Structure formats: C-alpha cells, structure tokens
Amino acid sequence: MHYESTRSTLSGTDTYAVLQGLAPDGGLFLDKTLGSRPFPVQECLKKDSLGMAEMILSYLMPGFENMKALVEKAYTGKFETEDLTPLVKVGNDYVLELFRGPTSAFKDVALSMLPQLMTAARRQEGMAGKTVILTATSGDTGKAALNGFMDVEGTSIIVFYPAEGVSPMQQRQMATQEGKNVTVCSVEGNFDDCQRGVKEAFAALSEKLEGTGVSLSSANSINIGRLAPQVTYYFIAYARLMEEGRIAFGDKVDYIVPTGNFGDILAGYYAKMMGLPVGRLVCASNANKVLTDFLETGLYDRRREFYKTASPSMDILVSSNLERLLYYASQSHEKVKGWMEQLNREGFYQVDEATLKAIQENFSAGCCNEEETMAAIGKVWQEEKYLLDPHTAVAWHVMEQVKAQAEGRPQVVLSTASPYKFPAPVLKALGLTGGQDEFADAEKLNQVTGVPVPGNLSSLRQKPILHKDRIAREEIIPYILSKVAE
C-alpha cells in the first residue's frame, strides 16, 4: 500500500493507483518511500534499455506481476531505433531523442507501457466491466494514447484537444485514428480548459458510475503508470555517456527538459531519488513561463496572458505534476491541499521558504520566447546539421542560458518531438516559406534537410478523417456521459 495521495493519507496499492488515475480526494498518487528504498543503480545501468525499464518499473510498482513480459509487450518492435531513446551528440552537448516511437512523440515511451499496466492491473484486481480512459491533450498525448489503447480489451478511450491549439499534423494524427473503442473530440478552449474539464468529470462522475460496470481512469501524467515509464530514459542517457567515456559512474549529468505539465522533468527527479547521479534538472518553458517564475520566486500565478506558441505542447498554465514535487519538497499534505485549493479558487499560491529552497536544490529554470525558439532551430541546423523541433529548441536555448552553471557537467537536452510534427514553424526557422498544407511542408523540409520523414506521419495523408466532433468546454461532462452510455 505504498501509494498515497498528495492531499491526504488516502492510500492504495500500485495497481489501484494505476486504475484510479487521480486519487479520489483530487490529489495525485505518489510513492512516499521513494528514495528510502535502495535501488541497484549500477546494475541497472549495465542493462539494455528494456532491461532498465523492467528494473525501474519493478522498483516503482512492485505489485505488478511479471513486469518483464509487460515491458517486452509494450516496446518490442514498436520503436524505430534499437535503443528506446537514442542519445545523439550535437556539438559538445547531447540530445536524447525521445520521439522514436509509433507516433513520433516522447509520450510513446509511457503510453506504449500504460495499456499493459492497465490491463495487468485489471486482471490482478479481478475487475470486470469497462475502464474508460479520459484524456486531455495539448497535442501529443492524444495520439500516443489513442494508439496505445486502440482495441485494448476492457478499455475505451476519449480524447479532448483544444480546437485551435494543436498543430495541423497533430490534428490529422488524431482525426484519422482507427479502432472500435476510440473517441476524439475538439474543445473550444485551450489545453487548461480540456484538463480542467477532465478533472471535473472525474469528480462529478466517479460516484455516479458506481455499479454501472464502468470506471474512469486517465492517460495523462497525473496517472502514476504514465509517469513511471519515463524514469527509464534518464538512466539510458547516463549509461550511454558512461559507454562513451564522457563520464565515470558517480559524475553528475544535467538534464534540460522542455516542460508543460511537469511530468517529464519530474521523472528525472524520481531517477535522482532512486540514486542516479543527476546534477541540475533544468525546466525549460516557452513564452508561457509560469514555471520559470515559480521556480525562481515560489509564487505560482496563472493569472496572466496565455500565449499560443510554436511549441503548443508546452502552452500550459496549470502544470499538474508540480503537485507531486510540492509534496516531496514540503512533506505536508495540508500545505499541498491548501495551495491547490487556493490555485483553483484564486489563481495563485506562494510556497514557504523551506519548500522553495528544497525545490531549488534540484531544479533550475529558464524560458525562451518565439524569436529565440526560431533562432535556435536555425542556428543548430546551420552549425551542426541537426534539426530541432520547436519544443526541443526551447530547451536548447535554455541549455545555452544555463551553460555557465553546468561547471563542465555534460548537458543533455531532452528532445520531445519529431520536427515533422511542426513542419511549418521549422521551415520558417530555416528561412523558408511553407506550402499549402502540412504534408507539402514536410516534403519540402525533407528535400532541404535530407532528414527522413517518419513513416507514421507521411502515411496519414492517405487516411480518411474519422473524427469531427467539436464541443464547448461546458459540454465535456455531458459528452462523456453520452459516450459512456453508447
């Protein structure tokens, strides 16, 4: 029973936490014993990437039987590279390519795994009926989750995305999704509206659905089963740096993470708590720099202008996973509950000195505006012939900002998406103009750079549009009810 809510002592097993998604008190499940239980880091670093995943997931979720089989089923043959997440040297720095999975999103690492965990948890808990996965997406989670849960027995999935908030390629990826158990719907609003709608749906519907054989869960990184698989690639990067002779075991490595909902970077903190020698965890934000401000001052304030940027997966003002970090840093359910309630009610909160200090011991922050994003893509292409997507470019820019603090430690930029998901802004960054649609742009980008287009994206062109629903944000709950009733 080592999973507990961030907001109270409400607790449960790991299988229960995966099936629930969100804790019933509105908090997020976390492992209080993380860091106090030993983990054989060096042994783990010697394994191949699937072996690392198995060891790490078995540590984080010991209640799951036969993790090895689950990991193999999730990943074998699904990724385009031998390493799950290859580490590429770019100049004197490193890019960890997280986007080599079936939908060219870093979310594939977690969302290839989550359906396996969910199915295993259902089996172990002897659950009958259906699990309905509710998902809010800023673009990439949606497709990766749809792909992961497509036709998975005992589950169905409903994805909400902001109508004007995703790239044309991302929109196309979701609208063409096949499978008998999938629903895709756009919402007139931004990502925060979608996320709030889904969280409200959990609160409003969980009881209502009791006894109907339908239970709700989430594929967002509020689900611990989504977060845990992401810990693996921090170990992969470290192991590759050791193999290359760039570091010896024990040397610290900095990771620079393009951040939205704070899940990716939090997984780095988990790796550190498990004993991986992580130096600074650098949170990179785009123009929506609510996290940069928070990490510098301790004031989290979402009452500000919302910008639509070329890195839409980071256009977020309420970062859910920060709540888990707040608990680890403050060790207080009451404080976390108070802050979260104040955020909901008034739009801001200020953490105390001690909590801020505990956070700043591990995390740094930086931000990058639109011009700087474009400049980073152009510069890295010209100087290194490496093509960054806009999200990765945000992190690259921030890496350069914080280079002086790195004191010689290797800096690893986490690359979260293929540039071909955002061909129009990438073309623009290279000083070129786009054509009539995302496919023409991708082709042009390919001709100019020679970087191959991932097959899963180019093949979308032939696929029929299957999903056209569009609703107002107030309609999310009734929409879910109508779909559940079907």
Given candidates 263, 279, 419, 454, which one binds ligand PLP under the rule CB under 6 A? 263
SS3 label, residue 24: coil
- Quick one: 154 or 168, whose CB is closer to ligand PLP? 168
Non-local CB neighbours of 70 within 8 Å, separated by 6+ positions: 57, 64, 113, 116, 117, 120
Identify the residue among 223, 261, 330, 411 touching ligand PLP (CB under 6 A).
Answer: 261
Residue carrying the six token digits 């693996």: 232
- Establish if 314 lies at the interface with ligand PLP (CB under 6 A): yes
Q: Mark residues 414-453: x for contact with ligand PLP by CB under 6 A, - for none.
A: --xx------------------------------------
Q: Choose the catalytic residue: 107, 199, 337, 444.
A: 107
- Round to whole Å and give the CA distance between 117 and 113: 6
Known catalytic residue at 107: yes
| Nearest residue to 114 (alpha-carbon basis) of 72, 145, 83 | 145
Closest among 294, 280, 315 to 390, alpha carbons compared = 315
Taking CB under 6 A as the criterion, which residues in 63-122 touch ligand PLP?
105-107
- Determine, following the binding rule CB under 6 A, whether residue 2 of this chain makes contact with ligand PLP: no
Distance CA 66, CA 282 (A): 35
Nearest to 8 by CA among 333, 316, 243: 333
Using CB under 6 A, which of the segments 16-24, 120-128, 254-262, 462-470 binds ligand PLP? 254-262
In the complex, what is the shortest distance from the CB of residue 170 to ligand PLP, in angstroms, rounded to a whole number? 9
**Of 73, 96, 93, 66, residue with least CA distance to 84:** 96
Choices 112-120, 180-188, 261-269, 375-383; region in contact with ligand PLP by CB under 6 A: 261-269
Work out whether 313 is an interface residue with ligand PLP (CB under 6 A): yes
d(CA 210, CA 328): 32
Is 227 a residue that touches ligand PLP (CB under 6 A)? no
Q: Where are the beta strands (DSSP E) in 195-316?
A: 214-218, 253-258, 278-285, 299-301
For position 21 contacting ligand PLP by CB under 6 A, the verdict is no
In contact, 188 and 472? CB cutoff 8 Å: yes
CB of 273 to ligand PLP, least distance (A): 17
Stretch that binds ligand PLP, among 193-201, 258-266, 329-337, 360-368 (CB under 6 A): 258-266
Residues recognised as catalytic: 107
Interface residues with ligand PLP (CB under 6 A)? Answer: 105-107, 140, 221, 258-264, 313-314, 391, 416-417
